[in-house]
Amino acid sequence: MAEEVNSKREVQVHGTGRIVKNVLVISLAFMTQFTAYSGAANLQSSINASAGLGTAALAAVYAGLILSNIFLPVFVIKWLGTKWTISFSFLTYMPYIAAQLYPRFYTMIPAGLLVGLGGGPLWCAKCTYLYVMSEAHSAISKITAEALLVRFLGIFFMIFHTSQIWGNLISSLGIYLACMAGAAIIVAVGVDPMKKFDTRGSGSGTGLSGLALLAATLKLLIEPNQILMIPINVFLGFQQAFFGADFTAAFVSCAVGTGSVGFVMMTYGLADAIGCIVNGYIAKRTIAFCFLEEKRQLSQTSGYGSRSVIL
């Protein structure tokens, strides 16, 4: 009890400005990271079309994500903490960019799997950090944590999706690698440890064993609200696959040339950023049940599907 009181006092000392600063720094770091990754991934099915190498590498990324999301997030976050999980997970993307210098199946596929393995802890740590920031801000401002989470996610994805714009303006692998290293440094230097703001121990894990935690996670799949969200997540998966593999190759490269892929994806990123602002405002007014559901899920175990909250 005394520790919780001291933690709340520390949150009061930091103030809401420090909390918003952390949200903005994480958003900037993700934008920098995915400026590099998105710029390279958008062209995979076009520039590495031989024998389907680019598409296979993207498939390896998402195969790694499936395994990663089931087994790694809770353990990695408990071991490193959210801040360092984000920073080190950024580094797992760098071999994927380096592999573009010598694109072969034996370089691209392992690099894609590594991206996936790092992506699970990365996105779960981001979700956990923003959730704790919304709770800490709520303790000071008395605005509901759900409303603040909507706002923070809207800000995050607005900044994050501009990476499609900047990434498609850049075509240098050296700059991409520098962006990824810079993103890791931004988080390491500019983000405060989450424990300074965590008054409820939300990011400390559940204390469950690995198998018990996996069973608890799978049990969520039979809950009605989670079942209703499955079509949204499936749609997002098909959307990413379509844009990453088919749209850029079949509808842009073949029609108007590979050189136009970047410009087309820039407009996609701009629309994404605007959509985050608009949908965030709509969600703030409607307070959909999915925010309450995500709050409960994040308290038990981190989830990668939180992007659907923006819808």
Spatial separation of the C-alpha atoms in residues 2 and 10, rounded to whole Å: 12
Give the pLDDT band of residue 306 (cuts 50, 70, 90).
very low
- CA–CA separation, 110 and 63 (whole Å): 11
* pLDDT of res. 25: 95
> Mean pLDDT over residues 54-70, rounded?
87
**pLDDT of residue 295 exceeding 50:** no
pTM: 0.77
Q: pLDDT value at position 51?
A: 76
Mind listing the pLDDT tens digit for each residue in 3-60?
Answer: 444 555 555 555 788 999 999 999 999 999 998 898 788 777 667 777 778 888 888 9
Tell whether the model's pLDDT for residue 140 goes beyond 60: yes
| Rounded-to-integer distance, Cα 300 and Cα 212, Å | 12
In this prediction, residue 109 carries a pLDDT of: 93
Token duo for residue 85: 């999980």
Contact between 105 and 56 under an 8 Å Cβ cutoff? The reply is: yes
pLDDT tops 60 at residue 208: no
In which band, very low, low, confident or very high, does the pLDDT at 302 lie, cut at 50, 70 and 90? Answer: very low
- What proportion of the chain, given as a percentage, has pLDDT over 90? 24
- Helices 53-71, 210-219: axis angle to 10 degrees equals 110
The pLDDT value recorded for residue 17 is 87
Q: What does the pLDDT read at residue 275?
A: 78
Evaluate if residue 79 carries a pLDDT over 60. yes
Task: Provide mean pLDDT across the span 225-238.
Answer: 83
pLDDT at residue 247 is higher than 90:
no
Distances (CA, A) of 201 to 3, 51, 129, 245: 11, 49, 12, 41
Q: Residue 110 pLDDT > 90, yes or no?
A: yes
Domain coordinates in residue numbering, the chain: 13-195+209-310
Q: Which of 282, 156, 149, 203 is nearest to 141 (CA)?
A: 149
Number of other residues whose CB lies within 10 A of the CB of residue 101: 10
Task: Please state, rounded to an integer, the average pLDDT across all residues of the chain.
Answer: 78
